[in-house]
Amino acid sequence: MRIVHARMKVFNLDGAFLDDFILATWMLSALKWKALGNDLIMYTDAETFENMKAVHLDELYDQIDTKSLTEETENIDLRFFWATPKLASLKKEIKKGYLPIISDTDVIPMSPKIMELFNNTKDLIVYSTKEFKEFHTIYPRLENISFPENYKLPKWFTGFAKPLNTAVLWFKDQSTAKFYLDEAFKIMIGNQNTKKNSTAQTMCNAEQRLLGEIVNYKSLSFNVVQPIDQGIINSFAIHTHGYKQYFVKYDRTQKLAWVLNLLAMIKDLNNEFYNKIINLPIFEAEKLQIENNSNPIPFVEELKIYNEEYRTLFNQVKENLDGR
């Protein structure tokens, strides 16, 4: 199948600079999807593409499109709608006649069984459902959400459907995908965020919440990669967004532990690629740790915890963060 990654301006967005954790996760996501026998497609902008080449990311993709996202994201403020690139990439793929799996670059497939989900028995596949409460901070009441001027809210958009996390997204048929994309772009194009919503609120309303509403409206069937009633270790994939937030806020040492595990998996999947990236300045701390350790990065079959302190962190993140 075709797996699509899409990112724009990730090397220079305010507060979202590329670091060792984000880069290693991105690399491992690409390698893991490819190891499952998929073609890997990247949609990005010209500037990000040049930066990708500097850290060898471009070498992991079968195709790279540097033009379509710029065209498809015109009149959309990416500060508020930061996940637009993946929706725009799906829009472009459909125009080419494809229905790919859209994956965030921080989603790491952990089991070959993940591919069994995409067997056409469901109308769509999403990463997970989201716990919803009427006054949830990310999903406030619709009267408190910004929409474009003259936008008319569809009657079927109730504001109470369970949001669906699109860190992994796949549609069985083009008509459903097109309907979703048309409605999402109506919400995003020209939206000036007049009600000063957070970036999570604006994007999740136009993406996760909208999709949940459409599933209810059209009575669509779906399956999930990460059931919310099961532990993260038991899922088909790991979405590391919440971990990134935790590490940035709390502990560089524990983040280093994660990155060492990520690099170990990269090394096992593609030793030649690993030998290129381990000498990048961004991995200086990890390389130093490896050189000072007689058994630096043993192979890890899954993303496991190698000491009790780190296991405690893992459990805290699993329990306290929303996994977005």
pLDDT in tens, 172-188: 999 999 999 999 999 99
Q: pLDDT value at position 320?
A: 41
Is 62 within 8 Å of 39 (Cβ atoms)? yes
Q: At 238, is the pLDDT very low, low, confident or very high (cuts 50, 70, 90)?
A: confident
Same-domain status, 212 and 247: no
Q: How many structural domains comprise the chain?
A: 2
Same-domain status, 184 and 283: no
Q: Quick: pLDDT tens for 49-90.
A: 988 999 999 999 999 999 999 988 989 999 899 999 999 999
Same-domain status, 217 and 97: yes
Q: Quick: pLDDT tens for 268-301.
A: 899 999 999 999 999 998 998 888 875 544 444 4
Domain-located, residue 154:
yes
| CATH assignment of the domain containing 20 | 3.90.550
Same-domain status, 196 and 256: no
Q: Quick: pLDDT tens for 216-225.
A: 999 999 999 9
Is 102 within 8 Å of 297 (Cβ atoms)? no
Is 23 within 8 Å of 55 (Cβ atoms)? yes
User: For the chain, what is the mean pLDDT?
Assistant: 84
Same-domain status, 252 and 285: yes
Spell out where the chain has E strands: 2-6, 39-43, 63-65, 101-103, 107-109, 124-129, 164-171, 222-224, 237-239
Domain-located, residue 232:
no
- The three-state secondary structure class of 125 is strand
Q: pLDDT value at position 141?
A: 85
Q: What percent of the chain has pLDDT over 90?
A: 56
Q: Tell me, what amino acid is at 101?
A: I
Closest CA to 200 of 82, 25, 68: 82
Q: pLDDT value at position 241?
A: 73
Q: Residue 103's domain spans which residues?
A: 2-224
